[in-house]
């Protein structure tokens, strides 16, 4: 097997181009994934308000578990990047990393399905209506079967992206939108010869879309010469417990970080609900716009983990520095533009989700416009913390960033939200100031850690290099 050439340190211009080439398809795939969820909402909304509310309850738990487990298995990306960056033969370590990540996707997915089946007691404790609970359980009991194929597809997405084929992620996610729309049309309403299943049909559509996505990644890997040479599906039954443990060690803090961040935004919704329906509706719309903008720095963070991981494997601190700072600059620059748009043309942005001229939306729009100003302020912090976390993941540094996230979001963040929201006249505005405070603390502390990476010994750690084989011909499968 041909030995990989050691990476050379790129110039700043080269690094910018390389990061943008990786970021573009990943960010596009993230945005398309949001569109996939929007398609579900469009079709389910035609069934009625109760069905839409029920699906939202189920997806709130399912999405949180799925996102956290995607972070857990996503630890494979920096491991792949490190193996490629060493300059040693990378086929075997990459194959074993992907294999163990696929194992972890199956095992964690089964656990995740069990967690999602706890939805009913959660709804009971939170006092949801009996009719909506019944519909939510009906939907949830089907959609959980999409968990494992979604996690398997996420592992393969990390593999193709780290190997320089991120465009596959964009194309497959885009095709998945059409599959999802067609399946919703067929199974919700009984079209194209399919049974009319109502809300359960939407869950069936999600399962079919997840299976299509997984199959598309398998097909792409088998037919692309660069990807196929790694034979990631060979000897799938052979364990590598050292690598499995390493993925767990790196990935578990990532999953917990995601849970901490998602948790504060979920808690904010419950806090906003205590101020009134209009405040909650305005909060939801403003937060959706912020989430839409976040998909780009989230993609930059994914690219940063891979680019930094390459140079971490090559033991090139200069390359690490350039890859990290270029990604942080790109993420911050984009979020500066979105922040400006939220200040200058907020009503135009609101038209993505609601009609600001409709009198029925008057109260919602007033609150949404207030919150968008604060969303503009925390856009910068959100972009910085997302990309800085990604750069640190490229160094396989996830445990301390996890504690930074937990502290930032749940001490100054939620503390400020509760204090200003309930003990001052600010109410909803105070909650948003709390969200911004948590994000600014996270961004500041993560940047400080990134600045101190060499002093802390993060750039030259052994990592997984102990399990990388010496430069010699590799067996086809191992």
Q: Give tens-digit pLDDT for 83-92.
A: 998 877 688 9
Q: How much is the pLDDT for 189?
A: 93
Q: How much is the pLDDT for 205?
A: 96
Query: For residues 62 and 31, what is the distance between their CA atoms, to the nearest angstrom?
Result: 19
> Please, which residues have CB within 8 angstroms of residue 72's CB and are 6 or more apart in sequence?
104, 108, 248, 251, 252, 254, 255
Q: How much is the pLDDT for 473?
A: 38
DSSP state of 471: S
Mean per-residue pLDDT pooled into runs of 10, the chain (478 residues): 56 92 93 88 83 84 92 94 83 94 97 93 81 90 96 96 93 95 95 93 96 97 93 90 95 93 84 81 85 92 95 92 96 94 92 84 88 89 94 95 96 95 92 95 97 89 40 43
Q: How much is the pLDDT for 38?
A: 83
Report which of 202, 105, 199, 189 is spatially closest to residue 147, judged by C-alpha positions.
105
Query: For residues 189 and 381, what is the distance between their CA atoms, to the nearest angstrom?
Result: 44
Place of tokens 């969303």: 375
> Cβ distance 269 to 288 under 8 Å?
no
- What's the whole-model pTM score? 0.88
Query: For residues 50 and 65, what is the distance between their CA atoms, to the nearest angstrom?
Result: 23
Q: How much is the pLDDT for 6?
A: 54
Structure tokens, 217: 């990644």
> Cβ distance 363 to 278 under 8 Å?
yes
């Amino acid at each position: 097997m041909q030995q990989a050439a050691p990476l050379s340190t790129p110039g700043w211009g080269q690094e910018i181009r390389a990061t943008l080439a990786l970021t573009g398809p990943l960010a596009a795939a993230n945005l398309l994934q949001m569109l996939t969820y929007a398609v579900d909402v469009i079709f389910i909304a035609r069934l009625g308000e109760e069905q839409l509310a029920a699906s939202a309850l189920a997806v709130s738990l399912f999405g949180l578990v799925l996102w956290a487990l995607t972070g857990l298995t996503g630890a494979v990306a920096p491991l792949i990047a490190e193996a490629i960056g060493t300059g040693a033969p990378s086929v075997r370590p990459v194959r074993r990393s992907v294999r163990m990540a696929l194992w972890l996707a199956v095992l964690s997915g089964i656990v995740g399905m069990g967690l999602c089946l706890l939805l009913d007691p959660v709804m009971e404790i939170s006092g949801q209506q009996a009719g909506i609970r019944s519909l939510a359980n009906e939907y949830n009991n089907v959609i959980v079967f999409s968990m494992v194929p979604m996690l398997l597809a996420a592992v393969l997405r990390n593999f193709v992206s780290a190997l320089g084929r991120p465009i596959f992620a964009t194309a497959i996610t885009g095709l998945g939108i059409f599959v999802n729309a067609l399946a919703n049309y067929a199974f919700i309403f009984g079209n194209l010869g399919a049974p009319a299943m109502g809300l359960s049909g939407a869950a069936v559509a999600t399962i079919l879309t997840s299976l299509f996505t997984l199959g598309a990644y398998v097909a792409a890997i088998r037919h692309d010469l660069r990807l196929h040479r790694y034979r990631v599906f060979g000897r799938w039954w052979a364990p590598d417990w050292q690598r499995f443990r390493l993925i767990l060690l790196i990935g578990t803090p990532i999953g917990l970080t995601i849970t901490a961040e998602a948790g504060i935004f979920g808690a904010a919704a419950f806090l906003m609900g205590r101020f009134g329906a209009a405040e909650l509706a305005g909060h939801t719309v403003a937060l959706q716009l912020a989430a839409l903008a976040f998909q780009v720095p989230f993609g930059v963070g994914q690219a940063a983990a891979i680019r930094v991981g390459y140079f971490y494997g090559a033991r090139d601190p200069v390359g690490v520095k350039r890859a990290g700072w270029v990604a942080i600059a790109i993420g911050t620059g984009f979020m500066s533009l979105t922040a400006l748009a939220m200040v200058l043309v907020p009503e135009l942005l609101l038209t993505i989700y609601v009609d600001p001229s409709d009198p029925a939306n008057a109260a919602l729009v007033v609150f949404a416009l207030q919150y968008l100003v604060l969303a503009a302020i925390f856009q910068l912090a959100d972009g910085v913390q997302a990309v800085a976390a990604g750069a640190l993941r490229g160094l396989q540094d996830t445990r301390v960033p996890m504690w930074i996230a937990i502290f930032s979001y749940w001490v100054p963040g939620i503390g400020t939200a509760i204090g200003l929201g309930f003990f001052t006249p600010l109410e909803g505005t105070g909650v948003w100031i709390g969200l911004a405070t948590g994000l600014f603390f996270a961004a500041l502390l993560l940047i400080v850690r990134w600045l101190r990476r060499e002093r802390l010994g993060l750039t030259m750690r052994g990592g997984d290099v102990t399990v990388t084989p010496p430069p010699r011909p590799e067996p086809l499968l191992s």
